[in-house]
Chain A
């Protein structure tokens, strides 16, 4: 065997591994701080020019009411009623879509899967189209007609896919094939509706599908927050199972005592629930769910115990950066974040893929 040069290099594998683990924990903390920094910077950008200091003051004044931070009323209104809701919603949406994508890719052992593979997006679009074009909604008051319909259709589609996939056997292939078939089917119905729609309705549907954070309110945030508070811990609880399924396959996972079919169904249901909640408010924001998992894997590796938590700040940061660019680049025109994210995310993704591929793909 190779000569070791010094005593200090002579570490046992598990000691090396502990160092490796510490690096990942550090990464998580750093990425969270990075997210907060991005959020603050994003708050200071916008139509009304506010300095970074003014924004920080306004934020601090609310969070620490008895401290001596003070802000002008106009600043406070802009910050707390317009910008922060948008930014918080962006962060929550990015985090939720990213973790859903990661969990789905692991559970289905397929790197091309995103939360939308399970028909969430096609269902949501159909739901929104039905509400906008036919004026028909299952539930919901005036204000939430589109949101409620998009949500219910998205979940309905997912459960249809889960049920059909289950009939065929709970393998990744069944779910992916059934998901894709239904995606086309619902796509066709949506297209038909759009064909008979008036121009105004059509514009509204198309606009909905772009995916935007405009109109985020504290009310919406609360609903998304509840969904995340439930789904995130549940998904993270499946980390070990996902590790076994992703890196060993079903046979090995079964041999390690895991009920693969049940884990797969649960993970997909949770991811779909989370995704449906988010996109029924924001519209279709696609790229985060596919790319954030890969970007995080490229940075810290495939261990779901760290991967799942870390995708959240990464996804959130991506979405915030994209939205800030979309909001400011051609101000006062706001470009929907669904468009910007793919526009800037894809090159970043390519860059990582090309420079780090040796350690990644076979």
Chain B
């Protein structure tokens, strides 16, 4: 197992956000984290990347406990792409992606560091933008730069929080295909939080559906994406069809909420 999460709980002050979450991710596997807003997807990802410290439970990356490994070592194993971040100060695309080499450098850059960045930039189709300023880019280009930086870290496990939320249809597919290829070629594992259920269904090998800080359903897309599960987690009536060998979810209408007067 690349990544094992055992009984993780976390709360923001007195408000619990994660309740004994347990799951694992195998080699060359893409796990899609889905669930309504506030269900704990981002919190879980931030706990895995030790930005947040879980109250209970352990997280193992390649058998090593996250809390006990040196930060620098861990950052060679795990890379994280947050939902969004703007740069306050000017920084070129190359410099931004170069940060991904931070876990490997002390001061000077090796030829390999630069070569990896070059390679990642061309992989993400960002070569022509490499000396442009980050703040001049469109939202979609910025998101690709963030993913490129995470890839420059050459991680074993990639944590993506809404990797496609700012991308148009074409870029969504492009980026997801690139990630899928990396998974196949290099055997890295991916956990991605997504709102787009059909994107999750199409690219993830396994789905974890979260609700109220717990894993509500987990398994392959067909077992998780059922009308009942979607109704229960999201409060939405949906029909699940089959398209190209994957479940295809069509939302119909929000379930009527029983409101108390």
Residue pair B122, A362 in contact (C-beta under 8 Å): no
Residue pair A14, B118 in contact (C-beta under 8 Å): yes
With contact pairs A247-B89, A303-B95 given, residues A256 and B102 touching in the complex (Cβ less than 8 Å): yes
B82 within 8 A of A: yes
With contact pairs A301-B92, A302-B91 given, residues A13 and B117 touching in the complex (Cβ less than 8 Å): yes
* The one of B80, B121, B122 that contacts A255, using a Cβ cutoff of 8 Å: B80
CA distance A11 to B73 in the complex (A): 33
- Interface 1/0 per residue, A2-46 and B, CB below 8 Å: 100000000011101110100000000000000000000000000
Q: Would you give the shortest CB distance from A10 to chain B, in whole angstroms?
A: 10
A53 within 8 A of B: no
CA distance A106 to B95 in the complex (A): 15
- Interface 1/0 per residue, A227-265 and B, CB below 8 Å: 000000000000010011011111110111111000000
B225 within 8 A of A: no
With contact pairs A301-B92, A303-B91 given, residues A257 and B121 touching in the complex (Cβ less than 8 Å): no
Complex: chain B residue closest to A300, CB-CB: B90
Q: Which residues of A contact B122 (CB under 8 A)?
A: 13
Q: Which residues of B contact A169 (CB under 8 A)?
A: none
Q: Would you give the shortest CB distance from B125 to chain A, in whole angstroms?
A: 9
With contact pairs A13-B121, A247-B96, A255-B51 given, residues A20 and B131 touching in the complex (Cβ less than 8 Å): yes
Complex: chain A residue closest to B89, CB-CB: A302
Tell which of A111, A250, A258 has the most Cβ of chain B within 10 Å.
A258
* The one of A16, A20, A248 that contacts B99, using a Cβ cutoff of 8 Å: A248
- Interface 1/0 per residue, A289-333 and B, CB below 8 Å: 000000001000111000000000000000000000000000000
* The one of B46, B91, B105, B117 that contacts A247, using a Cβ cutoff of 8 Å: B91
- Interface 1/0 per residue, A124-166 and B, CB below 8 Å: 0000000000000000000000000000000000000000000
Residue pair A243, B99 in contact (C-beta under 8 Å): yes
* The one of B78, B79, B89 that contacts A297, using a Cβ cutoff of 8 Å: B89
Residue pair B95, A257 in contact (C-beta under 8 Å): no
A51 within 8 A of B: no
Complex: chain A residue closest to B125, CB-CB: A1
| Chain A interface, number of residues (Cβ within 8 angstroms) | 39
- Interface 1/0 per residue, B112-132 and A, CB below 8 Å: 001101100110000110110
Residue pair A359, B82 in contact (C-beta under 8 Å): no
Residue pair B99, A247 in contact (C-beta under 8 Å): yes
Q: Would you give the shortest CB distance from A106 to chain B, in whole angstroms?
A: 7
Please choose the segment from B133-141, B199-207, B209-217, B246-254 that sits at the chain A interface, where 4 or more of its residues have CB less than 8 A away.
Answer: B133-141
Q: Which residues of B contact A81 (CB under 8 A)?
A: none
CA distance A243 to B109 in the complex (A): 15
Q: How extensive is the interface on chain B, given as a class?
A: 35 or more
With contact pairs A13-B122, A14-B117, A17-B131 given, residues A257 and B103 touching in the complex (Cβ less than 8 Å): yes
Q: Which residues of A contact B79 (CB under 8 A)?
A: 255
A361 within 8 A of B: yes
Complex: chain B residue closest to A18, CB-CB: B114
- Interface 1/0 per residue, B52-79 and A, CB below 8 Å: 0000000000000000001111110011
A contacts with B: majority SS: helix
CA distance A256 to B154 in the complex (A): 12
Q: Which residues of A contact B134 (CB under 8 A)?
A: 247
Q: Would you give the shortest CB distance from B51 to chain A, in whole angstroms?
A: 5
Q: Which residues of A contact B95 (CB under 8 A)?
A: 243, 247, 301-303
Tell which of A109, A252, A259 has the most Cβ of chain B within 10 Å.
A252
CA distance A106 to B88 in the complex (A): 9
* The one of A13, A20, A246, A254 that contacts B87, using a Cβ cutoff of 8 Å: A246
Could you tell me which residues of chain B, from 134 to 158, have a CB within 8 Å of some CB in chain A? 134-136, 149, 153
A198 within 8 A of B: no
Residue pair B89, A252 in contact (C-beta under 8 Å): no
B100 within 8 A of A: yes
Complex: chain A residue closest to B85, CB-CB: A249
B10 within 8 A of A: no
CA distance A17 to B153 in the complex (A): 19
With contact pairs A243-B99, A254-B49, A255-B49 given, residues A13 and B127 touching in the complex (Cβ less than 8 Å): yes
A-B contact pairs, 12 of them (CB 8 A): A12-B118, A13-B118, A13-B127, A20-B94, A240-B99, A246-B89, A246-B91, A248-B87, A251-B46, A301-B90, A301-B92, A359-B136
Seen from chain B, the residues whose Cβ lies within 8 Å of a Cβ on chain A are 46, 49-51, 70-75, 78-80, 82, 85-92, 94-96, 99-100, 102-103, 105, 107, 114-115, 117-118, 121-122, 127-128, 130-131, 133-136, 149, 153
